């Protein structure tokens, strides 16, 4: 029963936080520490269940992906630009992630790093919201290639747990002149190759150890299912919220959560 409760809690945390600019990895690390779980035991589980949240994007935006695929088959320039922008933005994370994989892994057990990153990231969001200028870029395919690459480079900051992959890409896009909704959707779509790459790498590296620490395939599948169902609801609400209120509510949440985490760690 305790094991099942752990899977439920971590699956919900992943589903709620994966696409919000609050850091899903950071929240999973804090949840693992707060609940007294063995961080090493749950490390692979926490990474692989991101696949469930990614699947929610595929389901929610299936019309977009179907239209892009159909356009690619016809040689449609808009569909080609859509795919090229995603791939170009993905490249920096792929290269840097592989090069610094061991150093990144070493930070995954550091709730103190997460707490500080949450606070600094919240302050950054407030500043960027004020600095971002109005723009006429209203679609992923409309983003100029150099800006797509720039967003991909900014995404690499999220290799520090607590920074937030979605937060880094969305704020990077805003700074580079992409409007809010398109910035959020570009972040969603960019998550697919980025997180599938991270998930695949983690599964391959730990293929012989899955189940040996008590967290087997069945637990991972259940956690992924929970993350998928929760993300379906959260993503819709997120897009509606930022369209009306921007990203400031998430910035203040990050700052409050980071301060609370620091106080707890120092207690």
H helix intervals, 108-164: 111-131, 145-155
**pLDDT of 240:** 83
Token code pair at residue 114? 């997460």
- Token pair 């209120």 in the structure block, residue: 245
Other Cβ atoms less than 10 A from the Cβ of 38: the count is 11
DSSP secondary structure letters along 10-77? HHHHHHHHTTTTT-HHHHHHHHHHHTT--HHHHHHHHHHTHHHHHHHHHHHTHHHHHHHHHHHHHT-H
**pLDDT of 208:** 65
**pLDDT of 94:** 85
Mean pLDDT, the chain, rounded, equals 86
**pLDDT of 244:** 79
Lowest mean pLDDT among 24-38, 78-92, 166-180: 24-38
**pLDDT of 1:** 45
What count of residues does the chain have?
Answer: 267
If we measure between CA atoms, which residue out of 26, 47, 27, 29 comes closest to residue 38?
Answer: 29
Domain boundaries, the chain: 2-266
In this prediction, residue 68 has a pLDDT band, given cuts at 50, 70 and 90, of very high
| Surface-to-core class of residue 62, CB atoms within 10 Å of its CB (0-12 exposed, 13-18 middle, 19+ buried) | exposed
Q: Which range has highest mean pLDDT (15-19, 82-86, 111-115)? A: 82-86
Residue 92 in this model has a pLDDT that exceeds 80: yes
Residue 2 in this model has a pLDDT that exceeds 60: no
- Token pair 């400031």 in the structure block, residue: 248
Q: Helix and strand tally (H, E) in the chain? A: 13, 0
- Rounded to whole angstroms, how far apart are CA atoms 192 and 57? 8
- Rounded to whole angstroms, how far apart are CA atoms 226 and 211? 19
């Amino acid at each position: 029963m305790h094991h099942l409760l752990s899977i439920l809690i971590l699956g919900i945390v992943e589903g709620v936080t994966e696409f919000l600019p609050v850091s899903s990895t950071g929240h999973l690390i804090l949840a693992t520490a707060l609940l007294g779980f063995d961080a090493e035991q749950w490390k692979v589980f926490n990474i692989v269940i991101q696949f469930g949240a990614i699947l929610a994007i595929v389901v929610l935006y299936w019309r977009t992906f179907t239209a892009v695929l159909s356009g690619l088959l016809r040689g449609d320039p808009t569909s080609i630009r859509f795919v090229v922008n995603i791939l170009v933005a993905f490249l920096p994370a792929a290269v840097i992630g592989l090069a610094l994989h061991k150093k990144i892994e070493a930070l995954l057990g550091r709730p103190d790093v997460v707490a500080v990153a949450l606070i600094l990231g919240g302050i950054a969001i407030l500043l960027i919201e004020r600095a971002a200028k109005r723009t006429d870029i209203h679609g992923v395919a409309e983003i100029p290639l150099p800006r797509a690459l720039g967003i991909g480079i900014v995404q690499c900051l999220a290799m520090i747990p607590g920074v937030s992959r979605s937060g880094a890409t969305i704020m990077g896009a805003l700074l580079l002149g992409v409007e809010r909704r398109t910035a959020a959707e570009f972040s969603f779509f960019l998550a697919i190759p980025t997180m599938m790459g991270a998930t695949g790498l983690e599964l391959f590296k730990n293929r012989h150890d899955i189940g040996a620490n008590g967290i087997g395939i069945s637990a991972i599948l259940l956690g992924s299912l929970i993350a998928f169902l929760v993300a379906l609801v959260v993503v819709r609400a997120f897009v509606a919220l930022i369209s009306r209120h921007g990203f400031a509510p998430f910035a203040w949440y990050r700052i409050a959560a980071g301060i609370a985490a620091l106080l707890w760690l120092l207690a």
